[in-house]
Amino acid sequence: MTLFLTLIISSFIITSIAIVPFINALYELKFLRQKQNTHDFLGKRTPIFDKFHRQKAGTPIGGGILLLLLMIIIFIITFLWLKFSNLYISSCFPIDKEISIIFFTLISFGFLGFFDDLKKIFNLGEKGVFGLRLRYKFVLQWILAFTIGFFLYFSLGIDIINIPFLGALKIGAFYVPLAAFIIVAFTNAFNITDGLDGLASGLLIICLFAFSFISFQIFDTPNTVFIAIWIGTLIAFLYFNIYPARIILGDTGALAFGATMAVVGLMLGKIIALAVIGGVFIIEATSSLSQMLSKSIRKKKLFSAAPFHLLLQERGWEEPKIVMRAWLAGLMLAIFGLWLATM
């Protein structure tokens, strides 16, 4: 517990010191959100989204780049210190393999999101790697997710899911596509949710505190250390990301954090609890998916606007009000998910 709290405080202080110069550098480099005409997965315009997000143009984008770099550096320093201090490190899996999978997820999905950020920042055309269309990026997400699912199954030997009240269910190789689906689902769910100032980052902090309780229970030091560092950097970032945001996470952070959140949850062995703890992300993604399917199949909208936070905006809710109430909903879902994880 002392190490956990120390890492939260340390990573918070380091990120707090680094983030203001980083924001200034983003202004100098003109890494700013541009006015854009947004399209959905079907390639159709989304004028309601553009209407409510027009005022965010000019905000520095790329907070995820800083957070990823700091998380990796602080984690490496921490583990080198633990190793040379000869402190006991407990883990449910081979430590090197567990750490490798976490950081492969963080970095690979971060790079995928980084190309999207560059395209948005500099208004790059639909050519070359910077012009990857949404459907191709979706395919790349699945390729990465299946790769990670493969490593979870073959390297860590995870092939069970814990079902509350029923216990562990062994599913064998079917775990690989299931893990891939969960990773892709949370990657896009987080990205969809990251539409209002402070919404996704605040919800993620709540989810990570819930994960830390589970990690403590199973004595998984690598996961606990990683979660603590992640929480500390996010709290410092959230200070500048709440309404009105001075910096935006960007796709680099959104894709990396969504995928890594899923992988951490999978390693903790609580898939059902993961879905409940991240319930607000699921609601956001489901509302957006339902809207797209309705427009594709029925040729008309299911909702006047989607995802759910955009529907609330369209109905007159102010942005801070939506975010605060989403955090409260996320807190109760996290408590309920933790309760399920103990069953």
Distance between CA atoms of residues 288 and 291, nearest Å: 5
- Residue pair 157/187 in contact (Cβ under 8 Å)? The answer is no
Q: How far is CA 301 from the centre of its chain?
A: 27
CA separation (Å) from 12 to 2, 5, 162, 235, 237? 15, 11, 33, 7, 9
Sequence-separated (6 or more) residues with CB below 8 Å from residue 180: 142, 145, 146, 148, 149
The pairing of strands 160-163 and 167-170 is antiparallel
Distance between CA atoms of residues 180 and 195, nearest Å: 24
Distance between CA atoms of residues 114 and 250, nearest Å: 8
- Residue pair 188/65 in contact (Cβ under 8 Å)? The answer is no
Ligand-binding site membership of 188 (annotated)? no
Q: What is the dihedral of CA 276, 280, 284, 286, to 10 degrees?
A: 20
SS3 18: helix
- Residue pair 264/258 in contact (Cβ under 8 Å)? The answer is no
Distance between CA atoms of residues 338 and 234, nearest Å: 21
- Residue pair 148/267 in contact (Cβ under 8 Å)? The answer is no
List residues bridging with 169 in a β-sheet.
161
Would you list which residues are annotated within the binding site? 191, 251
Binding residues for Mg(2+) are 191, 251
